[in-house]
Structure 1
Amino acid sequence: MEAKKIGASDYLALGLYAFAGFGLEVVLSMLLPSILGVESSEYTLIHHCIHWGLTCILWGSMALLLIRLSRKKYAFDLMKLNEAPDSKGWLLAALISVIAIAATTIVWGGFKPVEEYKGIVRFIAQNIYYLFEAALILLTIAFGQKFGETLFKRGGLPYGGFFLALTWGLIHILLQGGPTGAYAFFMSLLYGTIYILLKKNIRYSYVMIAVVFIL
């Protein structure tokens, strides 16, 4: 029996699965108030920590599932360490990161970690949550990049950034309005560019994207 040929649609599906992972938090947000017996608008610190902790479990499970599925079924090993970025790549990625952090600072009206700080426990729990969100962001980029390269037979362009912008970025427009959505769309393109500049090296890309996302 002839093996099924792996094509662009397979990587598109993986990218959409990664994007769908964000929706797990939406489902949790709908169910958790009934389970906890308190409206989300009245959450205390412990309620927020429960929400973030459960979301991390859901997102982490989805990320591990997709990494394993990608490797076993589609021979796309995300964890394989690609070549190290050259000095030019690092420099440009650092420049893009500075631009991204500057944009976040403007949107937040101050340095984001400072503006968000409401106690050390909340700060730590929320940033752990951000680390898991950054993992799904990177997976969406990586699968979107593979989809674009397979479809158009041309590398070097941030297909993953465009894919993230049209999924994660677009949903922000629909759920949180134009300004927030435009910011998410713009940041998606920057994240995708960082991934390309760092030679699609998943480890380096994750660290830089996570740092930028948190800051």
Structure 2
Amino acid sequence: MGNTGMAEKRVGASDYLALALYAFAGFGLEVVLSMILPSVLGVRGSDYTLIHQCIHWGITCLLWGSMAVFLIRLSKRKYDFDIMRLNAKPDARGSLLAVVVSVIAIAATTIVWEGFKPVQEYKDVVRFVFQNVYYLFEAALILLTIAFGQKFGETLFKIDGLPYGGMFLALTWGLIHILLQGGATGVYAFFMSLLYGTIYIMLRKNVRYSYLMIAVVFIL
């Protein structure tokens, strides 16, 4: 009993901040891969064929999936924070609001892409399947960043109900898009991050429902 109390005292906001930063750093694994893989394949990234691109997506999914499993286990073992146990059933009002936010997010994506995103991206079946599996793994890291960022904010400020996770995602994953893909894309990613975080809150931080809805919105 005493040891448990001591363990709990050692866990603070900085620990959850570290987890959130680790989750965000997971996105960077693809950047590292993008620097290494062309040399291994013997072809520049700009000259990738379909098979090269599928290899890139497949390895990225493996890296992101491994990172996600590692962080879920680490947070449970070291900090007694098991996000898979965050399974409070969303109420009707929260679910409705989450759907409304999702519709807004999909509408924003449709405007930015100048058409329905899956249709705009479609080139062939193989590419479509690999790319959307890739999106599913990216959505997992998005959710983890939100979940750990949310826990960090709640622990630091002692106030529930605010989308700290979405704010954290916006200030990390969202803003990094400005550096990598330009201002317009960065603003879009920042805005979407806030919406993803809001969905997480509306669904009462239930990771299963949240992942499903965030993944659907991210793909569409």
TM bucket (normalised to shorter chain) is over 0.9
1:89 to 69, 74, 94: 94
Using the alignment, how far apart are the partners of 1:204 and 1:57 within structure 2? 23
- In structure 1, the residue matched to 2:168 is 163
- The 5 Å alignment of 1:53-202 reads 53-202=58-207
Runs of 4+ in 1 over 2 A off after TM superposition: 1-4
Q: CA deviation at 1:5?
A: 1.2
Q: Is 1:6 paired with 2:11?
A: yes
Using the alignment, how far apart are the partners of 1:168 and 1:8 within structure 2? 20
RMSD: 0.9
Using the alignment, how far apart are the partners of 1:26 and 1:178 within structure 2? 19
Using the alignment, how far apart are the partners of 2:86 and 2:153 within structure 1? 21
- Residue identity over aligned pairs, in percent, reads 80
Q: CA deviation at 1:96?
A: 0.2
- In structure 2, the residue matched to 1:50 is 55
Using the alignment, how far apart are the partners of 2:73 and 2:216 within structure 1? 25
Using the alignment, how far apart are the partners of 1:189 and 1:66 within structure 2? 22
- In structure 1, the residue matched to 2:43 is 38
**1:11-62 CA distance string (max 9 Å, x none):** 0000000000000000000000000000111101000000000000000000
Using the alignment, how far apart are the partners of 2:121 and 2:85 within structure 1? 35
Structure 1 unaligned regions, length at least 5: none
**Aligned AA for 1:116?**
E
Q: CA deviation at 1:82?
A: 2.1
**Aligned AA for 1:150?**
T
Using the alignment, how far apart are the partners of 1:21 and 1:56 within structure 2? 11
C-alpha contact 2:87 2:208 (8 A) present in aligned 1: no
Using the alignment, how far apart are the partners of 1:72 and 1:83 within structure 2? 21
**1:60-111 CA distance string (max 9 Å, x none):** 0000000000001001001114210011011000000000000000000100
Structure 2 unaligned regions, length at least 5: none
Q: CA deviation at 1:175?
A: 1.3
- In structure 1, the residue matched to 2:214 is 209
Alignment coverage as a number of residue pairs = 215
